[in-house]
Structure 1
Amino acid sequence: MDAEHTVTTANGPVRGAVSPRSQDGRITVYRGIPYAAAPFGEHRFTAPAPAPAWDGVRDCTEPGPPAPQGTQLIGAAPWSPDTSLDCLVLNVWTPAAPAAPAAPDGGAPVLVWIHGGAYIVGSGAEGTYEGTRLAETGLVVVSVNYRLGFEGFGHVPGRPDNRGLLDQVAALRWVRDNIAAFGGDPGNVTVAGESAGAGSVVCLMASPEARGLFHRAVAHSVPGDMITVDSARLVSERVAGAAGVPLDAEALAAVAPEKILAATDEVLAGSGKSGKGVRTKEFTCYAPVVGGPELPEPPLDAIARGAAADVALLVGHNTEEYRLFTELGQTVEIDDESALAATASRLGLGEGAVGAYRAVHPGASLRELFNEIRGDALFCEYSVRFAEAHAAAGGSAYFFRFAAQSRTMEGRLGACHAFDLPFAFGNLDSDLALFLCDGEPDEGYRALSGRMVAAWSAFAATGDPGWPAVRPDTTVVRVWDIEDSLTEGDASPVRALWADVSFAPR
């Protein structure tokens, strides 16, 4: 037995290995540790059940299986019907020699990462989320798999709606109970995520189920995308119909995961631009469901009344979020002024909004204006509004915008959605980074990444990323770029257009 890299958890001992990315061999990584039972068979569509104990030392040197998912979006993890369904696993990177009990000083700060992917794709084992660089700053880093799509967020009568969120809560409980053995401090835990992961983070801030399990939160590109129980039920009726079964827990549990995925694809293909609100062009028909015990009220409402005022928050967005989607495959049917005006209207903007955007972006094409409006609708406005609401309720909130420009595709991607991730993780040699940087990153990119890694690490350790917090009367903005800047007051000229737009669940 490799005692040096073996840690005893509540379920049994696990063996890791030195991270191949560790520059001095100091970082140990443990991959694929179960934190809950496989969510199938008797546990399908239920709240996560405890992981069974094991005898002997469990080899945790390879990634565990991802949750069932299709290939609809960039970032989908490889999954097939032959993949193991024991998918509720996590990964741990630690700079500390394993210790039990915890070191006298309480151990290292802990950062728990929740991946994005529109609530339908992704994995905590993705290369962009490799935790070695952050662990080298002194953090214990954890990345988590959770149930996706219908398995995680579909409405099933008699079962909890937000099973994916409950999985994340179970992972945080595992951290509370086990992370000291890996050298981490269970009393200093930061939960972090991007896109759907950031949406999960703000839901965890609002959820009674997660209260007390973390102390700080990092949210990059928060989607203002929650749905009501009635909307979730309507989606599930359509998915069940496409799968050829009634909307019934036992009937649905008898359907193989791949058939549920195919039924979801059929529903998405017919969704078109129905409805009104920020999801007029669907990437997914799933999102956190507001109204049940796991998420009784919208996160923005909960935070505004001070429900998480004791949780320090680091939140922000990229400046050209939506270009990732329009430039990498999504068809944009914006071919005249009336179509663009109709999009703005569906998003809740008033008459004259398109003209106001054009004044801010003179010479922009219809496609470029569409990108700006949709990016603000889906990510930007909600992110800054969340920071302001948290600060107004007495919470500590730090806000940023990521403005560094991608050089690939002749620069058309700009500071697109997800471009910030390899910078914050320090993984500029990941496949995503090499693509978005258009090859080997230069010194300007590397220096920016170093500053972002340091800010994340400082925030996880102390609650201060290194610039002033948002105040009730002033939104202080840190702009991440090749040359960073700091502004006192949000100078965005279009924010007033969104003042009356509601992000209430639909």
Structure 2
Amino acid sequence: MDIFRTNNGLARGFRASADVVAVLGIPYAAPPFGADRFRAPLPAPAWSGVRDCTKFGPIAPQSAELPGSPVWSPGDGDILTLNIWTPVPDGGRLPGRLPVLVWIHGGAYTFGSSAQPDFDGLALARAGLVVVTINYRIGFEGFGHVPGGAAAGHPDNRGLLDQVEALRWVRDDIAAFGGDPGNVTIAGQSSGAASVACLMVMDRARGLFHRAIAHSPASPCYTREIAEATTREIAAAAGCPATPEGLTAVNPQALVTATDQVVDDYRRDPASGSRHYDPSLYAPVLDGDVLPADPLAGIAAGAARGVDLLVCHTTEEYWLLDAVGSCAKITTDEQLALFAEDFGLPDGLVAGYRAAMPDAPVLDVYLAVFGDLLFGEYGNRLAEAHARAGGRTFLSRFDRRRGGPDGTVRAWHCADVPFAFGTLDDDAVGFLIGGTPTPADHELSRRMVRAWADFATDGNPGWPSLDEDSPSRVKVWADGGDPTDGKSAADGPVSVRAPWAGAHFPVLRP
């Protein structure tokens, strides 16, 4: 059976394999443009007949062109869609209700989509899950502050509201695809993982999911003042007034172009503060409404203690950003000292990394500090805060490396995702993993897929939680077997925790 009855109409999918049906591009909300631009999402309209859902829907406005992924075309409107992979055993009948995994893509809240090849849900569906991947508004459309805010009908954090609307759709419709709306796990990577952390403390999302997986959660949330200042910069670059009328009058392409211009200005100006190093203009806004608290503080206060949490970060996060040229090159001690000052890092933090990496060049020290600042240490703290607040929490690190003719492929940002999805063989992920996967790579991926599926099923990924008295409370994913299981999060060449003792998150100060 490849036709499914949703509350809005019939949807036709296709056999992604003999045992899995994929249904792509299903609208979960109305197109967020025209009179509905910069507003909270509205329910998707019903359709008549059978809707063809055999290809991904349009993606949100952005300038990125990612390997193997569709690009945004100005004029695309129906961007709030989701995709489903569901197992169909012999006989063609859906099984009983299966656990559901909902994936939120990353991309610095500025780029990315559910159609990226590394997010194909086939392997996880074969492991017994109903897999859902979603598009949501990004960039200014999703996270830019519009003056007047919610009182004027333009709430902050529209991208988060889209995610909530997608989860409501899952609650109401996923049973038609064999999924259990009472057993939903949300998962994401980078800004998608930070979105997961935000959803954990949002009243609007309460009860819509039961477990959470955060791959390399990104640390910053922005105050209203920071968001307002960013809007003024974007409006100036777009040549429009920083008013609801002015921003609405310019098309999405103009705001994408303006965003790229402002980012480039920060990159070119070493005196522009913390945004010079890797400009991220958008992040969830601490508006006290949609997002009532900073996720780390909210989780520490027990806002999500009833949600099981699994955190995974890579040991060399920021080497990817350096490899793709998206962050500043810091190669002198003077530049490194300015970096620490711009981010308000505690005295002695950089020295602590130097002591742990005595023979490393300045660039490597900088990348290690920056990676832990944005991802590694922040992820560790999320996990530990949740455990202290009474939430069942699992922590893991991805530490797989590979040598090759072009040098070492590190355990860097995003590298763990195709292993967890079982998508190693797609050519588009070759750069992330260093070329053709080896048998050891496939074995590592098989174990990660199984752990993620088991966690989504019953909350047990296969290693002790942080609240258990065990020496192996941190799972380390590495090549072949489990030779590094049981190491602490402080082990490894670039994972340094002690110097962070005096740092408070968030520490970003645009």
* Band of TM-score, shorter chain: over 0.9
Please say which of residues 419-428 and 435-444 is displaced more in the overlay: 435-444
Percent of paired sites with the same residue: 50
Residue 153 of structure 1 corresponds to 143
Tell me if structure 2 keeps the 8 A contact 1:408–1:435. Answer: no
Alignment of 1:266-285 (within 5 A): 266-271=261-266, 272=269, 281-285=277-281
Residue 201 of structure 1 corresponds to 196
Counterpart-to-counterpart distance in 2, 1:74 and 1:303: 35
> Is structure 2 residue 266 aligned with structure 1 residue 264?
no
Residue 447 of structure 2 corresponds to 451
How much does 1:343 deviate? 1.4
The equivalent position to 2:80 in structure 1, one of 56, 80, 88, is 88
How much does 1:241 deviate? 1.7
Alignment of 1:105-144 (within 5 A): 107-144=97-134
Counterpart-to-counterpart distance in 1, 2:160 and 2:69: 19
Counterpart-to-counterpart distance in 1, 2:67 and 2:273: 25
How much does 1:175 deviate? 0.1
Tell me if structure 2 keeps the 8 A contact 1:30–1:61. Answer: yes
Residue 224 of structure 2 corresponds to 229
Tell me if structure 2 keeps the 8 A contact 1:69–1:76. Answer: no
Counterpart-to-counterpart distance in 1, 2:383 and 2:232: 36
Please say which of residues 440-449 and 409-418 is displaced more in the overlay: 409-418
| TM-score in terms of structure 2 length | 0.92
Alignment of 1:15-414 (within 5 A): 15-19=12-16, 22=17, 25-71=18-64, 77-82=70-75, 84-96=76-88, 107-157=97-147, 158=152, 159-271=154-266, 272=269, 281-330=277-326, 332-408=328-404, 410-414=406-410
| TM-score in terms of structure 1 length | 0.93
SS of residue in 1 equivalent to 2:322: helix
How much does 1:178 deviate? 0.1
Kindly provide the CA deviation profile for residues 109-152 of structure 1, in whole angstroms up to 9, marking residues without a partner as x.
Answer: 00000001110001101111000000001100000000010000
Tell me if structure 1 keeps the 8 A contact 2:349–2:500. Answer: no
Shift in alpha-carbon separation, 1:247–1:73, aligned structure 2, 3 A: farther
How much does 1:167 deviate? 0.3
SS of residue in 1 equivalent to 2:85: strand
Kindly provide the CA deviation profile for residues 304-359 of structure 1, in whole angstroms up to 9, marking residues without a partner as x.
Answer: 11100000000020000000011222353323212112212333333333332122
Counterpart-to-counterpart distance in 2, 1:78 and 1:253: 23
How much does 1:469 deviate? 0.3
Q: 2:245 corresponds to which letter in structure 1?
A: E
How much does 1:432 deviate? 3.8
How much does 1:388 deviate? 0.2
Q: Note the residue ranges of structure 2 that are not aligned, 5 or more in a row.
A: none
The number of equivalent residue pairs is 494
Shift in alpha-carbon separation, 1:154–1:77, aligned structure 2, 3 A: farther
Tell me if structure 1 keeps the 8 A contact 2:277–2:328. Answer: no
How much does 1:406 deviate? 3.9
Counterpart-to-counterpart distance in 2, 1:138 and 1:228: 41
Q: Note the residue ranges of structure 1 that are not aligned, 5 or more in a row.
A: none
Counterpart-to-counterpart distance in 2, 1:371 and 1:409: 23
Kindly provide the CA deviation profile for residues 86-128 of structure 1, in whole angstroms up to 9, marking residues without a partner as x.
Answer: 10000000014799x997x5x0000000001110001101111
Please say which of residues 265-274 and 411-420 is displaced more in the overlay: 265-274
Kindly provide the CA deviation profile for residues 228-260 of structure 1, in whole angstroms up to 9, marking residues without a partner as x.
Answer: 011001101111122122122232112111111
Counterpart-to-counterpart distance in 2, 1:51 and 1:9: 11
SS of residue in 1 equivalent to 2:502: coil
Q: 1:427 corresponds to which letter in structure 2?
A: T
Please say which of residues 68-77 and 234-243 is displaced more in the overlay: 68-77
Tell me if structure 2 keeps the 8 A contact 1:5–1:98. Answer: no
Shift in alpha-carbon separation, 1:389–1:246, aligned structure 2, 3 A: same
> Is structure 2 residue 4 aligned with structure 1 residue 11?
no
Shift in alpha-carbon separation, 1:76–1:292, aligned structure 2, 3 A: farther
Shift in alpha-carbon separation, 1:409–1:162, aligned structure 2, 3 A: farther
Tell me if structure 1 keeps the 8 A contact 2:409–2:434. Answer: no
Tell me if structure 2 keeps the 8 A contact 1:34–1:90. Answer: yes
Tell me if structure 2 keeps the 8 A contact 1:327–1:413. Answer: no
Calculate the aligned-residue CA RMSD, in Å: 2.3
Kindly provide the CA deviation profile for residues 406-450 of structure 1, in whole angstroms up to 9, marking residues without a partner as x.
Answer: 435644441010010110000111234322333221111110000
Q: 2:111 corresponds to which letter in structure 1?
A: V
Q: 2:200 corresponds to which letter in structure 1?
A: M
SS of residue in 1 equivalent to 2:485: strand
